[in-house]
Structure 1
Amino acid sequence: MPRKEKLVVGLDIGSTKVCAIVGEWLNDAVNIVGIGTSPSNGLKRGVVINMESTVESIKRAVEEAETMAGHEITSVYVGITGTHIQGSNTRGVINVRGGEVTPEDIKRVQDQGRPSVIQPDRYMVHILPQEYTVDRQDGIFNPIGMQGAQLEAKLHIVTGSAATVNNIIRCVQLAGLDVENIVLESLSSAMAVLTEEEKEQGVLLIDIGGGTTDMAAYSGKNIRYTYVLPVGGYNFTYDISMGLRIPFTEAEKLKIEHGTCLVQEVKPSETIEIKSFGTNKVRTIERDILVDILNLRMEELFRLLLKNLKQNGFGHLLNNCSGIVLTGGGALLDGAVEIAGDVFGLPARVGEPHNIVGLADVVGTPMHATGVGLVLYGLEHPNGKSFKAKDGNMLGKILERMKSWFKEVI
């Protein structure tokens, strides 16, 4: 049967740009009907540093998306990232009431696993089930309706700084919008670019954004590990700017027009022209200087991710991993796939949003993976408005909600 149409808006508030994407179900595909973008100067690595600037960027992006879609936007699903994000694996165990697992039992076992990883200053972004066990029978993904006396759940719980989440929510509210839900950016990107087969076999998603790089490791269909590295495309441009002593804007242009991470692709005689700080004078340098900078930074980024994975006890996930999927704007840098493959010792590819129609030629790129994924998340999880624009003390509301979690645990 055709899916019921409902417009959903994903709002990706990044360090370099704010992007609003509007979509709906069209049979079994996501029909993108509007998109709006605006430069972002109010966030740094997922943290609001200028509320006024962030609010204005949100307004501009949403207004542009409204005009293209021909619909008023009143609420959004908001992506979140940053080093304040933490992922933890935990377990919950309960006795089944009535001898048959019900949706209420699922809620109770998830509630039972929450308190051990949530501190008073943390906001719970997601509870992501990994698998269930019913009376010692493990490897179950949906136990509802099964007979048993005891239910155990392995969970991946994602939390963020309550204050940081509050500031992001408040910026969206000040732009006149309700927040339907807060969604981890690597989760939304994964929904847009990964296949079900990759998730089942095992895959490592690496989303290289402007200020951060998000990593999510999948195995057996579900997330096993998440991590946010405070390094992104901005760092590549900064390195070029400082290394060549040129303005940041000139460095960004140079990265896009002449950048590659593959030293072997550059001929010894190749040169490029650059403008120095504080002058319009043009000077010539060898292109391999630029390439060396990008090569070193890209390799360092992947080695930091690999080191983090191993240090936290998840290096074994690579043993049964089908490969690496790169997405985000940084994935477009020539040579990123090759270096990722070399560092991790696995096949690698660029991940683009799939199963989309409408403005697919516009949003079907790695840099729009998060925005498209937020739309898909909203379509598949049509929850009520979590935070309305008229709400006042959002931090107080978040803390009250967290207190209620502990009271609910049985």
Structure 2
Amino acid sequence: MDTKTNDQVIAGLDVGSSQVTTVLGRKTQDGVEILGMGECPTEGMRRGAVVNVDATVKSIRQSVTEAERMTGLTVESAFVGISGPLIKSFNSHAAISVKNEREVTDADFTRVLEIARTVELPNDREILHVLTQEFIVDDMAGIKDPRGMTGIRLDARVHVVTNDVPGARNLARCVEKADLDVESFVLSPLASAEAVLTPEEREVGVALMDFGGGTVEIVIFFNGSLRHTYVLPLGGSSITSDIAIGLKLPQSDAEILKVSSGCAMIQKVRRDELVELPGVGGRLPRPIRRQYLSEIIEPRAEEIFTLLRKEILRSGYEENLGAGVVLTGGGSKLDGLTDLGERVFKLPFRRGNPIGIGGLVEVVNGPAFATAVGLVQYGAAASERVYRSAEAPEGDGVIDRFKRYLSEFF
């Protein structure tokens, strides 16, 4: 098939700590049709930050090239996930008087949101998202869209997500060097939520945990809106390192052993189960008890979940998680992790695969693809729900485009 550019094609680019994934899709009447994907391991990222530009650029190019070969399409731009411990968020609100005490207009709606997002930030921070939680007209709370209502006072409550300017610029330059434009940066766990959560879960309350190689990222939804975000600078690579140290293995062998034979719950492993330990330095492979491997994995996984539970308690939303916890991301595939999660959190746990998609569903049917698929879904919905403020002033060209504000109106 001859390569061709198709303006209707949406690319989601997930530049993770261990893997770069590109998913291509197209908006349809029923949602999103998956056209193809490409993936490539990377050593250029650590905990959401670029640590080697050349390695990151190479991995992005290879991932995109694979997706192009699968589909016969040329990718020119992408929605790019951004994450890491330098992501910070907070809740903000603003109130205005409704002009002439009449019905709330588009102008009132826009004005109160502009005030809510007008916050003082250090020079090294920029706004990534401003997500509406609710509007209040006079004393009536919980309103999703106040336009057309009559009142004297209009309040807006929003969740503001900010990122690190140098970190975003480094990632932007890597994408640019891979010959791609950035349509928009999107908070990675917010994109994952697009792919794996149902509207009902968002409404009754749910914590999404995106378990990556270098980080675990949480987003908490309640009453249909994002309420809290947090990034823990530990992830699957921490478990791999413990295995490498405990069993005196190279990191690459430890990762293979973790994925193929690891279990995060010792109780799930039979006493007589054996796994093969790879030989190192010319030594022959040898069997070890699988329980011994689990004895290395479980304490670290439990530590990660305990820290995440403390954050949920700190957020004040533990009692509002009617739908429990949804675990996604490449690290969530570890056997026994959902069982351990239920024990630590005392909440329902499920593993989240992408839902609500058509086309080549089987090629992205796994939690590792949640962010990239969600980026495509986010891009498909952007034209309907995203309000863009004035573009950044002229200056740095491509980089300035990445600093534009985004507001998502749910």
Q: Normalized against structure 2, the TM-score is what?
A: 0.90
Go from structure 1 to structure 2 and tell me whether the alpha carbon gap of 1:32 and 1:135 turns closer, same or farther (over 3 Å shift): same
- Does the aligned pair in 2 maintain the 1:81–1:184 contact within 8 Å? yes
* 2:276 paired with 1:278: no
CA-CA distance at 1:285 after TM superposition: 2.3
1:268 to 251, 271, 289: 271
2:293 to 282, 290, 294: 290
Go from structure 1 to structure 2 and tell me whether the alpha carbon gap of 1:397 and 1:381 turns closer, same or farther (over 3 Å shift): closer
CA distance in 1, matches of 2:194, 2:205: 14
- Give 2:379's aligned residue: 378
* Counterpart residue type for residue 380 of structure 1: A
RMSD of aligned C-alpha atoms?
2.4
Q: Deviations 1:236-286 (Å, cap 9, x if unpaired)?
A: 111111111111111111111111112122222333221354333323322
CA-CA distance at 1:208 after TM superposition: 0.3
Query: What pairs with 1:2-151 in structure 2 (closer than 5 Å)?
Result: 6-97=8-99, 99-116=102-119, 118-151=121-154
CA distance in 2, matches of 1:300, 1:117: 35
CA-CA distance at 1:320 after TM superposition: 4.5
SS of corresponding position for 1:78? strand
Q: Normalized against structure 1, the TM-score is what?
A: 0.90
Go from structure 1 to structure 2 and tell me whether the alpha carbon gap of 1:125 and 1:259 turns closer, same or farther (over 3 Å shift): same
CA-CA distance at 1:47 after TM superposition: 0.4
* 2:223 paired with 1:228: no
- Give 2:4's aligned residue: none
Q: Deviations 1:147-204 (Å, cap 9, x if unpaired)?
A: 2222111110000111111111111111111111110011110111000111100011
- Give 2:350's aligned residue: 349
- Does the aligned pair in 2 maintain the 1:204–1:321 contact within 8 Å? no
CA distance in 2, matches of 1:117, 1:345: 39
- Does the aligned pair in 2 maintain the 1:163–1:395 contact within 8 Å? no
Query: What pairs with 1:126-275 in structure 2 (closer than 5 Å)?
Result: 126-275=129-278
Go from structure 1 to structure 2 and tell me whether the alpha carbon gap of 1:88 and 1:345 turns closer, same or farther (over 3 Å shift): same
CA distance in 1, matches of 2:399, 2:341: 40
After superposing on structure 2, the runs of 4+ consecutive aligned residues of structure 1 that deviate more than 6 Å are: 396-399
- Does the aligned pair in 2 maintain the 1:91–1:153 contact within 8 Å? yes
* Counterpart residue type for residue 147 of structure 1: T
- Give 1:408's aligned residue: none
CA distance in 1, matches of 2:359, 2:56: 28
SS of corresponding position for 2:184? strand
CA distance in 2, matches of 1:110, 1:361: 40
Go from structure 1 to structure 2 and tell me whether the alpha carbon gap of 1:118 and 1:318 turns closer, same or farther (over 3 Å shift): farther
CA distance in 2, matches of 1:197, 1:306: 22
* Counterpart residue type for residue 255 of structure 2: E
CA distance in 1, matches of 2:343, 2:127: 36
Q: Deviations 1:261-316 (Å, cap 9, x if unpaired)?
A: 121222223332213543333233222110111111111111101112223xx234
- Give 1:333's aligned residue: 334
CA distance in 2, matches of 1:18, 1:398: 20
- Give 2:3's aligned residue: none
CA-CA distance at 1:398 after TM superposition: 6.3
- Does the aligned pair in 2 maintain the 1:219–1:317 contact within 8 Å? no
SS of corresponding position for 1:158? strand
CA-CA distance at 1:82 after TM superposition: 0.1
SS of corresponding position for 2:307? helix
- Does the aligned pair in 2 maintain the 1:9–1:375 contact within 8 Å? yes
CA distance in 1, matches of 2:120, 2:258: 41
Q: Deviations 1:13-60 (Å, cap 9, x if unpaired)?
A: 001111111111232131100211111111100001111111111111
Count of aligned residue pairs for this structure pair = 395
Range that drifts further, 245-254 or 272-281: 272-281
CA distance in 1, matches of 2:81, 2:105: 31
CA-CA distance at 1:338 after TM superposition: 1.0
CA-CA distance at 1:117 after TM superposition: 5.6
SS of corresponding position for 1:211? coil
CA distance in 2, matches of 1:392, 1:122: 17
Unaligned ranges ≥5, structure 2: 1-6
CA distance in 2, matches of 1:58, 1:229: 25
CA distance in 2, matches of 1:278, 1:157: 52
SS of corresponding position for 2:203? helix
CA distance in 1, matches of 2:402, 2:36: 31
Unaligned ranges ≥5, structure 1: 406-410
CA distance in 1, matches of 2:401, 2:317: 40
* Counterpart residue type for residue 160 of structure 2: I
SS of corresponding position for 2:74? coil
